[in-house]
Amino acid sequence: CINQTGGLPWVRSLIVFFLVVALSSCEDHRINLPGQAIQSTGPKPAYAPTITPQMLAVIEELGRLNPVPLYTLTPQEARTKPTFKDAVNSLLSKNGIAPPQARVTKSERMIPGAGGVPIRVVIYKPNGASPTAPVIVYYHGGGWVIGNPEVYEYSTLALAQNTGAVVLSVDYRLAPENKFPTAHEDAYAAYKWVKENAATIGGNAAKVAVAGESAGEHDGAGSWTGPARSYFICFPGSQQRPQHAFV
């Protein structure tokens, strides 16, 4: 995770994160990885003179897959376009690199969101996890308008495998169909549900953390004002300083 000061804008940072997690979430970061052979084709942009060839390659690939700027589309149209995850997967496929397979079991269920409206959550449980493992409630990014648990799945898979915690990714309701503060209220409802029902997903209600990226960091911060044990963020959209997470 990084803080806001001195970092790339959050969209560029998100691209970076997907490449790093996709290529290294299941490996030792100190050794050479297959994805390091991926190279960009163009010059480094002025906004990122120190960007690595791999990171720039993802930006280039996303531009190829989705040449239409999202800001020119309706929210509904934007949600159908290729994502950073698609760009990473495309690069891996072109270079004959198999995506890393996390030792994690995935499931999903519906839980009560704000006002009792059902919302979907996706649960990532490390294989062989303790029956009382810690739980991370995770909130995806996307400006509260786009994104879902699947788009950000490399993050949640990496969190589950590398921490040993059960990760619950919240598919909170999006704007503009669901106006503020619906997403934040769904986020808190999910956290509250985990605190009350952690045992049903193989977790420990006494060890619950919240995590998020970009817009999801705001959702996590709102939940953290309650009794969350730990809180950590990637690519923050607020001025909250990153906190440590349990391990």
Average pLDDT over residues 204-225: 69
What's residue 5's pLDDT? 30
What's residue 32's pLDDT? 64
What is the pTM (predicted TM-score) of this model?
Answer: 0.76
Give the mean pLDDT of the chain: 80
Q: For the chain, what percent of residues have pLDDT higher than 70?
A: 73
What's residue 214's pLDDT? 63
What's residue 205's pLDDT? 95
pLDDT at 15 over 70: no
Average pLDDT over residues 202-208: 95
CA dist 47 → 56, 82, 221, 240 (Å)? 11, 23, 29, 24
pLDDT at 235 over 70: no
Listed residue (222, 167, 155) closest to 189, CA to CA: 222
What's residue 197's pLDDT? 97
Average pLDDT over residues 95-117: 94
pLDDT at 209 over 50: yes
What's residue 49's pLDDT? 93
Compute the distance between CA of residue 178 and CA of residue 199 in angstroms, rounded to an integer. 30
Q: At what angle do helices 84-94 and 53-65 cross, to 10 degrees?
A: 110
Q: For the chain, what percent of residues have pLDDT higher than 90?
A: 60
| Cβ-contact 242, 170 below 8 angstroms | no
Lowest mean pLDDT, pick from 7-21, 82-96, 117-131, 156-170: 7-21
Average pLDDT over residues 24-29: 42
What are the tens digits of pLDDT across the range 31-73?
566 778 899 999 999 989 999 999 899 999 999 999 999 899 9
Lowest mean pLDDT, pick from 88-92, 105-109, 156-160, 227-231: 227-231
Compute the distance between CA of residue 129 and CA of residue 136 in angstroms, rounded to an integer. 14
